[in-house]
Structure 1
Amino acid sequence: MASKEYGVDLDALDQVVKELNQVLKDMGGPKDKAKNQTYLPDGALGKGFEERDRMHKAHNDMKAYIEQNIVGLIEKMIDDFGKKSKQTKDAYDDAEHDNSMK
């Protein structure tokens, strides 16, 4: 029975890492918008009624949720995948180098 060989395209894996790093850079825009460009001034909803305080608090809570639990988690997942992809590529590089030395 003939032996089948499998190969890993290290250039493609390296490209994945580069593209994930670019996505991380690009994530700065949505993160900045969630943090700094959704400002609701204190008096924008009026003054002196209970609903205003609840609405203002709901806005601030949602702003924090979007920044931390949506954009932040996506950013963390992409970073984790990028790091693991780089480790995989480096491990294949090392194995290829070790095999060529034998």
Structure 2
Amino acid sequence: MASKEYGVDLDALDQVVKELNQVLKDMGGPKDKAKNQTYLPSGALGKNFSEQKKMHAAHDEMKHYIEENIVGLIERLVDDFGKKSKKTKDAYDDAEHDNSMK
């Protein structure tokens, strides 16, 4: 029975790593917007009514949630996948180099 050989396209894997790094760079925009461009000045929702402080606190809470639990989570996921992809590509590069030296 003939053995099957599998190959890894290192250029394609390298391209995945580059594109994931670009996604991370692009994630800076939404993260910056979530953090810095959703400012709600005091009194913007009105003044001197009982729910004013609750509404302002809810805005701050949602802003933090979006920044950390949505945008931050996606950013960490992409970063983790990018690092693992680079590590895999480097391991295949090293194995290919070792095999060519034999």
Q: Specify the TM-score bucket, using the shorter chain as the normaliser.
A: over 0.9
Identity over aligned pairs, percent: 85
Residues 67-78 of structure 1 correspond to what in structure 2 (within 5 A)?
Answer: 67-78=67-78
How many angstroms apart in 2 are the aligned matches of 1:101 and 1:50? 76
1:85, distance to aligned residue in structure 2 (A)? 0.1
In structure 1, runs of 5+ residues without a counterpart are none
1:34 maps to 34
1:79, distance to aligned residue in structure 2 (A)? 0.3
How many angstroms apart in 1 are the aligned matches of 2:26 and 2:91? 28
Aligned residues: 102
How many angstroms apart in 2 are the aligned matches of 1:50 and 1:36? 27
1:18 maps to 18
In structure 2, runs of 5+ residues without a counterpart are none
Give the 4+ runs in structure 1 shifted more than 3 A.
none
1:39, distance to aligned residue in structure 2 (A)? 0.8
Q: CA RMSD in A?
A: 0.6
How many angstroms apart in 1 are the aligned matches of 2:41 and 2:7? 58
1:101, distance to aligned residue in structure 2 (A)? 0.6
1:55 maps to 55
1:48, distance to aligned residue in structure 2 (A)? 1.7
TM-score for both structures, normalised by structure 2: 0.98
1:46, distance to aligned residue in structure 2 (A)? 1.5
